[in-house]
Structure 1
């Protein structure tokens, strides 16, 4: 950034503050707040400041994100201090301000709720998974549930602990131990404890985090951390990429953090769901022309912990026209639709992967032609299951699946993965 642009940027310092308020702030942070011409923050945070902070106090509007650029512009030329809960760069306003300003503001962090909670619980921070439910659906917690794991949930409000307990019971983790830590770092700090199966604790303070020791109930379906979930994990009408083929398909798609998948002919949504489960930042669009199946995909996504999966109801290729450019494309149905492969190939980013599966001779011939033109791997996947044959056991062969997997040639853009579309 040149000096003129830097001079035009507002003078912003972000100060992290805890539930202990002014008493918990370092001398440098107090100085920034005392000398600021304007202090921006939430109503609860602003109420923690003493009268000696004489700058104009401005409460964040709702919704916050769209209002940030104008609010900063309104106070350009003045010293701006922004209050944030705990560490501003931990699910805080620091990220938004960095994006708006085009460069990181000065940040004075305070211990985060994660640090406080792990200190109270004796949990190593680096081994504790964090799921935020602030402005996000409770269903997203489901993807983090694994027997023996420790999960810290950042609550949206006082009702969050009961919502977490209900989800744990519904997903087969009712025996999990829960601890609700309120007002961490303040003199009003409090901890309530119980088990999800019989959680009946009355909602307390809105400023809380929920610590979960995950315990799977006996007989509950076990969901692993890699692609190839049991078929029984999905609601479906038979339109489901079966477990072993699904695992091979996700291996060929090779999801990486932050990437976007197009799942064409979503069926039950299993490919898109398991793509998103590989990393919290992975994104997917599932395109399904049948409205009933589209609704089923959304239910599967919610149940398996990826409610952010976007379902597009419509027939490809027409339904693809306005979608953000993908890093990978999976075609599980409709291969012979005129122009479908051409549209997917054109939209795919250089360096992106395209994987197509089929069980019909007509689609297989089409894939063979594209393989001849663009290369890649053309394979046949055959799976057989042991079944009773009278008093003995034999093999029952599933329909073989022809799979074409290819990487699109060309220079990989610097904004990959999907940086321009986020």
Structure 2
């Protein structure tokens, strides 16, 4: 016989015993689980609750510039991005304070509240209801503990084609950003799935990659930008849109790509002069059936890209997009043309 607390089938020892001995040899007699007790203490209906755990090896602090799906807090950050109520098993290193700091780092604030139960069912049990992230971030709590994360505002819906002005950006005459019209079509051409791994090469202000992140809630976006000012803007935009499944590296592609997982989709908004080499490297890593979408405003870069695709034997299609936006003139309106953009799409054949 094995004595375990709570329900051993919920983040407990039962799965290990079943795997070792076989389900037919196991009888489970559950007690009220930690999650049941947690929700009972705070009187929270939990039929739609999601459970996440960061009870494990020391994950270290969440640093948005280097954090990835391998980080121990990642599953919790993604859970609250998708669900309004999440129960979290904490740990000795991955404490409530560390989790609160991570949530603040990815852009959460008064949109979340946290209720904490410490030393459940022990004589010195303590409850801490409805705390803010800021209140938790610098505080120690008795262990062991478990917590509820609850949204105070609705989850922001996935956006396709946010207004250009919603993004922090360097601002020459027309702004260094993939314009809304080209962004929408490029994202459509990427054919993203909910769990897609996406690369954003030449991220600029981050507009394409961040909208992709919202469209791949179970996936992740890896972005690279060589300009320090643009990289800073992209990180600020990631915080604004609470994109915990977005990692930005400041650097020049194709450096850093070797450390990323193979992509399902790749967007190139800027290449820094190594376009042909970059396309070759990407095609070697792109998953079968994956898509490469590139935006160009010059004939020379377009020609370089089509030659590279032809040399690799990869079929492509091309769209020229030239949009005009209304502008007021006196008490009337006129259409002001934007620069034409070529959207080049290649698809790697299934093996």
TM-score by length of 2: 0.68
Partner of 2:263: 326
Residue 143 of structure 1: CA displacement?
6.5
Equivalent of 2:129 in 193, 201, 206 = 193
- After superposition, the C-alpha distances for 1:401-421 in whole angstroms (9 at most, x for unaligned) are 32122321131xxxxxxxxxx
Structure 1 residues 165 and 354 mapped into 2: Cα distance closer, same or farther (>3 Å)?
A: closer
Indicate yes or no: 2:326 matched with 1:391: no
Alpha carbons 2:169, 2:205 under 8 Å: kept: yes
Counterpart of 1:225 (choices 143, 158, 172) is: 158
* Displacement of 1:332: 0.9
On the 8 A contact 2:87/2:146 being kept in 1, the answer is no
State the alpha-carbon separation in 2 of the partners of residues 195 and 128 from structure 1: 19
Runs of 5+ in structure 1 lacking a partner? Answer: 1-27, 34-47, 49-84, 217-221, 412-422
The CA deviation string for residues 201-245 of structure 1, in whole angstroms up to 9 with x for no partner, is 9754341303313227xxxxx943244345455432243223443
Q: Which stretch of the first structure deviates more once superposed, 113-122 or 254-263?
A: 113-122
How far apart are 1:353 and its partner, in Å? 1.4
Radius of gyration: which is bigger?
A: 1
Q: Which has the higher contact order (CA 8 A, sep 6+)?
A: 2
Within 5 A, what are the aligned runs for 1:9-408? Answer: 28-30=1-3, 90=11, 104-105=19-20, 113-120=34-41, 121-125=43-47, 127-129=48-50, 135=59, 137=62, 149-155=84-90, 156-159=94-97, 163=101, 171=108, 174=110, 177-184=113-120, 188-194=124-130, 196=132, 204-206=141-143, 207-215=145-153, 223-237=156-170, 238-307=175-244, 309-317=246-254, 319-320=256-257, 323-334=260-271, 337=274, 338-367=276-305, 374-408=314-348
Matches of 2:218 and 2:211, distance apart in 1 = 13
CA shift at 1:333, angstroms? 1.0
- Rounded to whole Å, the distance in 2 between the matches of 1:341 and 1:133 is 38
User: Which runs of 5 or more residues in structure 2 are unaligned?
Assistant: 65-73
Distance of aligned partners of 1:270 and 1:165 in 2 relative to their CA distance in 1, 3 Å threshold: closer
Change over 3 Å in CA distance of 1:184–1:289 after alignment to 2: same
CA contact (8 A) 1:113 1:209 kept: no
- In 2, distance between residues paired with 1:251 and 1:397? 22
SS at match of 1:374: coil
C-alpha offsets along residues 293-332 of structure 1, whole Å, 9 cap, x if unaligned? 3344444445543456443443334554565432221111
What residue number does 2:67 align with?
Answer: none
Aligned length: 318
d(CA) in 1 for partners of 2:302 and 2:336? 23
Given the two structures, how large is their TM-score scaled by the length of structure 1? Answer: 0.58
Change (3 A) 1:275 1:198: closer
User: Deviation of residue 336 (structure 1)?
Assistant: 5.8
Task: Show CA shifts across 1:352-383 (max 9, x none).
Answer: 11111122233334455567763344223344
The answer on whether the counterparts of 1:263 and 1:284 sit within 8 Å (CA) in structure 2 is yes
Q: Quickly say closer, same or farther: Cα 1:182–1:386, change in 2 above 3 A.
A: farther
Q: Structure 2: how far apart are the matches of 1:87 and 1:251?
A: 44
Aligned position for 1:414 = none
Secondary structure in structure 1 of the residue aligned to 2:292: strand
Deviation string, structure 1 residues 122-151 (Cα, Å, up to 9, x no partner): 4343x3345656636397677767899334
- Cα deviations by residue, 1:50-92 (Å, 9 ceiling, x for unpaired): xxxxxxxxxxxxxxxxxxxxxxxxxxxxxxxxxxx965764x8
1:143 to 1:162, Cα distance in 2 relative to 1, 3 A = closer
Preserved contact between residue 161 and residue 181 of structure 2 (Cα < 8 Å): yes
Moved more, 193-202 or 398-407: 193-202
